[in-house]
């Protein structure tokens, strides 16, 4: 018998998610708390999404379908229109719940009447469901945030991960539907911001979900800058309603501009390492437009020239200086503390780089073509006066890291064919030799290790 008044409505907006959808559904059906309905709303998928849902016989699963593709925001709104639960839990078709997700998050809402949204810790997985390195969490323990204070941090960076979210239905009703004018991305962030202006937020430190990263995810498909354009629309859309309810609004507005410009510049750096100079130039210009009063015009001009002339070290240094300028108004915020790790001058590491460069000059011939595992920092190339490629090379491996040892070996062999004959691991990259163990064994079995100390390891890969 169908429960017409379930405690929780789990909502899955789905578009061409057949590959992972059954796993997502099963993760809901395995919940320790069972008084729920599961809504799968198909956004006119062209894959086997309808057939996947048809294989599920549980009466709590309700399937709906748009006649034409409307986008994720509209489909989430359709989920809300048919949901009957007191609480709404959000799950994307490629993500997964752990068995205690609904019990843990609903218990917070039951205990804390002032909390309207609860989110929590999660694991990151790849396309095959294998664990990836954890992303930074906003808190290390249970936290209840005042909505207004949460808003001040949330407007700088979205730290709420959708498959961990549960919201009181009445709070969704109060703030209205998801915005359908933001674009393909960031509509969830805009919703969390509107909710924060009306209710307190809670974070649970128990890991309640798995967030999947793969080539077809929204975060991957918006790598070309679309996501940041959506983010900019969110900031523009949400700041005006906050003017009359947030204390010291002008300071917050300045911080929001600095944070958005910093994310745009970081995106530009990423595009530059992928050899996409057009996107890198566009990012710098957009960053300056967003935060003109916070970014030095002369340094911005130097950065543009460095990108146009493909001067990697000059690009790195100018971008770093501009990020340091943007960091100033953000220093006291959580986003600012994360950004600080990327912009602070680490004198100990700089000294280590000088020593590694001296070792390279002594043991790597001038005309050698070198691979350096340096997270796309060109400093060692500059200091050692050697040429070559970052490893991995973002032009050949845009995702940044090999998915497994086999791909790491294949990438090395690909760059060898391009002329690379030395491979350098600075000590900051020693984790590679532990994480990619078969890759390390390949190096030891097939190539000569010509240097090893606490600062670096160098292989000759002729």
Q: How confident is the model at residue 126 (pLDDT cuts 50, 70, 90)?
A: confident
Chain CA centroid to CA 323, Å: 19
Residue 246: the pLDDT is 86
**Directed axis angle between helix 277-290 and helix 297-308, to 10°?**
170
Tally: H helices and E strands in the chain = 19, 14
Residue 235: the pLDDT is 93
Arithmetic mean of pLDDT, 36-61: 96
293 CB-contact burial (10 Å; exposed 0-12 / middle 13-18 / buried 19+): exposed
CA distances from 39 to 30, 51, 61, 305, 385 (A): 15, 15, 6, 52, 59
**3-state helix/strand/coil string of 430-457:** CHHHHHCHHHHHHHHHHCEEEEECCCEE
- Is the pLDDT score of 224 beyond 70? no
Give 123's strand partners. Answer: 210
97-123: b or e for each residue (b if 16 or more CB lie within 10 Å)? Answer: bbebbbebbbebbeeeeebbbbbbbbb
What pLDDT, in 10s, does the model give residues 139-159? 999 999 999 999 999 999 999
Tokens of 239: 């700041």
Q: How far apart are CA 87 and CA 169, in angstroms?
A: 5
Q: How far apart are CA 41 and CA 64, in angstroms?
A: 5
What pLDDT, in 10s, does the model give residues 379-415? 999 999 999 999 999 999 988 889 889 999 999 999 9
Residue 330: the pLDDT is 97
- Is the pLDDT score of 217 beyond 80? no
What pLDDT, in 10s, does the model give residues 235-250? 988 988 888 888 889 9
Residue 299: the pLDDT is 98
Residue 221: the pLDDT is 46
Residue 393: the pLDDT is 95
Nearest residue to 157 via CA among 303, 334, 35: 334
What pLDDT, in 10s, does the model give residues 316-370? 999 999 999 999 999 999 999 999 988 888 999 999 999 999 999 999 999 999 9
Nearest residue to 442 via CA among 413, 417, 419, 418: 413
| Contact (Cβ atoms closer than 8 angstroms) between residue 109 and residue 118 | yes
Return the residue matching tokens 């809504």: 39
Residue 34: the pLDDT is 96
Residue 37: the pLDDT is 98
Q: What percent of the chain has pLDDT over 90?
A: 87
Position with higher pLDDT, 244 vs 198:
198
| Contact (Cβ atoms closer than 8 angstroms) between residue 319 and residue 303 | yes
Q: How far apart are CA 244 and CA 240, in angstroms?
A: 8
| Averaged pLDDT score across all residues of the chain | 94
Q: How far apart are CA 127 and CA 213, in angstroms?
A: 6
Tokens of 213: 């990263």
- Is the pLDDT score of 76 beyond 60? yes
Residue 242: the pLDDT is 86
Residue 398: the pLDDT is 87
| Dihedral in degrees, nearest 10, Cα atoms 13, 15, 19, 23 | 0
339-348: b or e for each residue (b if 16 or more CB lie within 10 Å)? Answer: beeebeeeee
> Helices marked H in 364-396 — which ranges?
379-384
């Amino acid at each position: 018998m169908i429960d017409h008044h379930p405690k929780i409505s789990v909502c899955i907006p789905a578009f061409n998610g057949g590959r992972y959808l059954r796993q997502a559904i099963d993760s809901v059906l395995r919940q320790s708390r069972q008084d729920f309905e599961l809504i799968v709303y198909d956004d006119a998928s062209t894959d086997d999404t309808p057939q996947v849902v048809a294989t599920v016989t549980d009466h709590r699963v309700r399937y709906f379908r748009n006649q034409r593709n409307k986008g994720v925001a509209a489909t989430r709104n359709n989920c809300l229109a048919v949901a009957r639960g007191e609480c709404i839990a959000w799950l994307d078709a490629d993500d997964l719940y752990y068995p205690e997700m609904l019990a843990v998050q609903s218990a917070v809402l039951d205990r804390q009447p002032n909390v309207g949204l609860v989110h929590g810790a999660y694991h990151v997985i790849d396309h095959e469901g294998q664990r990836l390195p954890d992303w930074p969490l906003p808190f290390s323990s249970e936290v209840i945030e005042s909505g207004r204070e949460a808003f001040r941090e949330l407007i700088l960076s979205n730290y709420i991960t959708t498959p961990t979210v549960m919201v009181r239905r009445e709070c969704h009703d109060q703030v209205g539907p998801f915005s359908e004018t933001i674009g393909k991305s960031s509509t969830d962030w805009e919703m969390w911001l509107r909710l924060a202006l009306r209710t307190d937020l809670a974070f649970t430190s128990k890991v309640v979900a798995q967030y999947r990263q793969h080539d077809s995810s929204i975060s991957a498909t918006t790598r070309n800058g679309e996501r940041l354009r959506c983010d900019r629309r969110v900031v523009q859309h949400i700041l005006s309603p906050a003017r009359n309810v947030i204390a010291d609004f002008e300071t917050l507005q300045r911080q929001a501009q600095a944070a958005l410009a910093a994310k745009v510049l970081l995106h530009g750096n990423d595009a530059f390492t992928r050899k996409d100079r057009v996107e890198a130039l566009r990012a710098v210009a957009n960053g300056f437009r967003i935060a003109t009063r916070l970014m030095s015009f002369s340094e911005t001009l130097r950065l543009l020239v460095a990108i146009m002339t493909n001067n990697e070290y000059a690009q790195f240094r100018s971008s770093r200086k501009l990020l340091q300028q943007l960091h100033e108004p953000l220093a006291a915020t959580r986003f600012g503390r994360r950004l600080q790790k990327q912009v602070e001058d680490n004198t100990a590491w700089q000294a280590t780089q000088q020593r590694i460069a001296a070792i390279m000059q002594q043991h790597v011939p001038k005309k050698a073509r070198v691979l350096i595992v340096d997270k796309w920092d060109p400093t060692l190339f500059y200091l050692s006066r050697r040429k070559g490629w970052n490893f991995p090379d973002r032009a050949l491996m845009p995702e940044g890291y090999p998915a497994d040892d086999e791909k790491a070996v294949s990438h090395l062999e690909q760059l060898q064919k391009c002329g690379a004959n030395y491979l350098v691991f600075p000590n900051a990259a020693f984790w590679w030799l532990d994480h990619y163990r078969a890759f390390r064994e390949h190096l030891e079995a097939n190539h000569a290790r010509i240097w090893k100390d606490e600062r670096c390891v160098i292989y000759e890969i002729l």
